[in-house]
Amino acid sequence: MTQLGDLLRSPLNPLLVWDVVARGCGACGVTDDADAAEKAILDALEGFPAGRGRSVRLAVVRQDRLRVGGALGPGR
C-alpha cells in the first residue's frame, strides 16, 4: 500500500475508510494509518468464507471536508 501510505502522509491529513464484505459477513474501519488498514482488511478477509462474492472498498477522505457527525461537505 505504498501509494496509499504516501497519500495519507500528505499535509491534508486524510483518513482511509475501508469496507470488506463476503457472503453476509462484513467489516469496516477508519484510520489514518495505511499499514493498519491493510492488516485489518487482510485479517477480515482471512476470517470470512472463501470464494466468490468477496469485495473490498476503499475511500480516502480529507478531514477538512468533514463536519461534525461525519457528513461530507465544506469544512467549517
Closest C-alpha among 33, 32, 39, 35 to residue 15: 32
Residues of the chain with pLDDT under 50: 1, 75-76
pLDDT in tens, 17-33: 999 998 888 999 998 88
- The closest alpha carbon to 27, from 39, 44, 15, belongs to 44
CB-based contact 28:18 (threshold 8 Å)? yes
Q: Is 73 helix (H, G, I), strand (E, B) or coil?
A: coil
Q: Check if the beta carbon of residue 66 is closer than 8 Å to that of residue 22.
A: no
Please indicate, yes or no, whether the overall pTM of this predicted structure exceeds 0.85.
Answer: no
What does each C-alpha distance from 3 to 26, 68, 73 come to in angstroms?
25, 28, 25
The pLDDT of residue 72 is 53
